[in-house]
Every structure is written in C-alpha cells, then in structure tokens.
Amino acid sequence: MTSTLLMDIALLLPFAGAVAIWLAGRWPNLREAVTLVTAGALFAVVITLLARVLGGERPEIHPVQLFPGVEIDFVLEPLGMLFATVASTLWIVNSIYSIGYMRGNDEPRQTPFYICFAIAIGGAIGVAFAGNLLTLFLYYELLTISTYPLVTHKGNDEAKAKGRVYLLLLMGTSMVFLLPAIIWVLAAAGTTEFTAGGLLSGTGMPTWQVSLLLALFIFGIGKAAVMPVHFWLPAAMVAPTPVSALLHAVAVVKAGVFSVVKVVVYVFGVDYLSSSGAGAWLTYAAGFTVVCASVIALMQDNLKKRLAYSTVSQLSYVVLATAILTPISVMGAMLHIAAHAVSKITLFFAAGSIYTAAHKTEISQLDGIGRLMPWTMGAFAVGALSMIGVPPTAGFVSKWFMLQGGMAAENWVAIGVIFLSTVLNAAYFLPIVYRAFWRAPPPADAHHPHHGEGPAPVVLALTITALGTLALFFFPDVPLGLAEAMIADQPVPAPEPTALTEVTK
C-alpha cells in the first residue's frame, strides 16, 4: 500500500471505529472487541508508516482546499510520526485498561465513552499529521470537544462544573490567542504550511512582534498547560481514570506540547528564535511552571491531584527543552514526549488500580499497599523513577538530552530549573513509594477486609506500560531515530557573515 493511502486509513480509522462502536453498543463484548481491533489496526498502520518515515519518506496528502491558499492537508514528518506512534500504541493499552476499569467500577454510559475515546484518538492522529496550522487547529478543537463528554462522564454537579472549566479554558485560549495567531502568521507569511527551518524565518518581523506571536501560540495552546493556563488539567481529574490517562499521556496534553514543539520548529524555526532573541522569555515562563507546579504537587494529598500537577510540571519540561533552542534540546523535548507518556500512563493506571481494588484516593491512606498490590505499586515505582529521571528508565534519557542542550546553549537558568525540579520530583514521588512498601498496612477487620490486586486487564495494562518505561531506556532507538531525522530535516542555517567571508569577497 502506498504511504498516502496508509495516511488516509490512519486518519479515518478511529472515526470508522467510533461508528462501529456505536453500532455494536448493545453487545458490550462485541463493542470492546471493536475498540481493540480498531486500536490494533491503527497501531499496525502507524507502525508501517513509522518504518517508512524512518526510511526517509515524507508522504503528504491534500484532500480539501478550505480557503483560497489555505488547505486542509497532512504531511508526515518525524515529529508528528512520534506523536502518532505514542498515541496509537498507548490507545491499545489504554483500551485494555478501560475495559477492566469501566467494568470493574460498573460505570454507566460505556458506549458513548468508547465512542468519544475513539474520536479523541482520531483528533490526536489529525493533530500529528497536520500539514499546516489550520489543519492542526481543526483537529485540536475536535480533541477538545470529543474529550469534554469524557471529562464530564460522571454527570454530577462537580463533573459539570469542572467540565465548564475544561471547555472554557481550552476553547477560550484556542479562540482568543491561537486563532488570531494563526491568522497573523497567514498575514505575515502568506501561508500556514509547516516549513522545515521555520515559516517565519525569512519574513523580517520585528523582534517584539515575534515574541508576542510566540506568546499567543504558547498560551493559545492551552493543552500544553504552561502556567497560568493550566487550571483545566487539575479540574479534569474529576474524570474516570482511563480518561485521565488519555488526557495526561495518550492524546490531550501530548497534543499540546507536540503543537508547541511543532510551532517552534516549523513555524518560527529554532535558529530564527535563538538568533533573534525572541524566544528568550519562554525559558522563564516554562521554568516557572516546572518549579511552581512541582511545589504545588508536593502539597497535594490526593494521589490523582499530585499526578496532575506533576504533569503540569513535566509538560513544561518539554516546553523548556524547546525554549533552550538548540537542536539537541529539541531532541530532548521529543524524547520527553514519549518518555513522559509511557511513565505517566503507568502512574495513572496504578492510581486507578488502587481506586478500583481498594477505593483509596489519598496518599495518606496508602500505607503498606505495596505489599497487597505488588504489581501495581511496582509499576508505580518504575513510573515514579522515570518522572524523577533515574536510570534505567525513559525519563533519564530525555533529561540527559535536555541537560546537554542546556550546556551547549549555556542556558544556566534552564539547567538550574531542571536540577531543582529533579529534587522536587523526588520529594513528592519517593514518599509514596516508601509508604507503600516500607510501612505496615492497617490491620484488616470485618469492615475492611484486605483487598488484592486490581482487575486482571488493569494489572496487565500497567505492567505493559511499566515495562515500556524501562524498554525506552535500553532501546530508545525509535524516538531517538525520529528526533535525529527531524533535526536532519531542518536546513543548516546560513553562516553569519564573519570577517573572513568579508575578506574573501
């Protein structure tokens, strides 16, 4: 099959899956089978494309012209390929987990749940494949809309209120900042197509305008949760755990940081931003978010809330790594998208497993739980180590690249932030692991009999992702290969005219 046909299939498959899930809604086993088969098929298609992209192909499709000069089109490049791979891989694991969780907790309205989930994945694939800003925006909004019913799944007053925050903040930032930014780019460059080396790098915009435009993008992409537009993420904790995993690992926040990296690399251009100095402020904004969110995480007793603020902090790692504006740090940002995805999904799966088996939500209740749920808490420990950046986990690899980039750029602020937050990460994750394994569990009584592990699909899923976290440390070939390919795609900047070239003239 040609690569363009595979792209068509990858873009349409989740939506076809959503329809099939709807049709199969009456028979839960068939419905879940449809989800798994769709996820598996999508994975197969994406992996085939992955091999071709690593082989140097950059397929593109142009289905619709929306406005004169502005199309809906899709171009597959390494960065998008990475995001699509992450999303489609984790969809399978997440589906296995969802089945265990949703059945284990007797959740209502499971058919709409799986439908929205599939549509959200379709949105993520569209974001990953988008060939220009308008297409990215289209799928970005689709992702927001399709996850709103998931966030409000419980349907009670709290879910409604949190859903409002979720929708208004994400849609609001995208409409108020992102859309004008896109139109500004169109006005300045005459197109919104993503261009290697940066779409705006030749336009000669004044530096203050570039800075402002970058700000519109960073805060317009609310899904990247750079403070102060992060409130939606803790609010979304009201959702069932598989949705939290979707938001935090598979699709939503990853779409946010992916878009940030994509915009910085393909709209502004790394060299353009660093040579003009227009991106300098981003280090501070991202650095502040990293540290501040870690401090807030430290103060949370609710496990999912702590994880949520940890995500806010980790997302800004990606933004920070991008803001260092060296090729090697941008590679670090890409690697961290993959590393954080697989580690954070493990942590959320573990939190959901604890909730399903023990109905515990607070960290202070977790004494000795590692002895009762060794698989769950073992996986949790692996995820936690990866968050801190300890080898042999995925988080170490990306942090290594970030620090290298920071050294190369002599960006001491960024390096300082990374060190400080590593300490903070350890301070809020290690006590949980300590509590779980080294403290004695409360004695069992008639009302609170000892529970065992979570449901089998749940434990299976979190074991897979924990192993994935370890595997990415030992075999980082795929994300690393994609990161290298993306850097290789960027044109080498013209050397600055030096005294020597002046002389040779």
Q: Which residues bind other proteins (CB under 8 A)?
A: 64, 66-67, 72, 134, 137-138, 141-142, 145, 149, 152, 155, 159-160, 163-164, 167-168, 171-172, 175-176, 179-180, 183-184, 186-187
Query: What is the distance between the alpha carbons of residues 158 and 275, in angstroms, rounded to a whole number?
Result: 48
The one-letter code for the residue type at 448 is: H
Judge contact between 261 and 286, C-beta under 8 A: no
Smallest gap, in angstroms, from Cβ of residue 325 to other proteins? 28
Smallest gap, in angstroms, from Cβ of residue 503 to other proteins? 45
Smallest gap, in angstroms, from Cβ of residue 7 to other proteins? 18
Smallest gap, in angstroms, from Cβ of residue 19 to other proteins? 13
**Nearest to other proteins of 141, 489 (CB atom):** 141
Smallest gap, in angstroms, from Cβ of residue 104 to other proteins? 24
**Nearest to other proteins of 142, 394 (CB atom):** 142
Q: What is the dihedral of CA 118, 124, 125, 131, to 10 degrees?
A: 150
Query: What is the distance between the alpha carbons of residues 319 and 339, in angstroms, rounded to a whole number?
Result: 14
| DSSP three-state, residue 362 | strand
Judge contact between 107 and 153, C-beta under 8 A: yes
**Nearest to other proteins of 12, 299 (CB atom):** 12
**Nearest to other proteins of 143, 403 (CB atom):** 143
As separate numbers, helices (DSSP H) first and strands (DSSP E) second, the chain gives 22, 2
The one-letter code for the residue type at 204 is: G
**Nearest to other proteins of 180, 277 (CB atom):** 180
Smallest gap, in angstroms, from Cβ of residue 136 to other proteins? 10
Judge contact between 128 and 139, C-beta under 8 A: no
Percent of residues in the chain assigned helix, strand, coil, to nearest 5: 75, 5, 20
**Nearest to other proteins of 184, 288 (CB atom):** 184
Smallest gap, in angstroms, from Cβ of residue 244 to other proteins? 20
Angle at 271 between CA 265 and CA 273, to 5 degrees: 75
**Nearest to other proteins of 74, 473 (CB atom):** 74
The tokens 């920070």 sit on which residue?
320
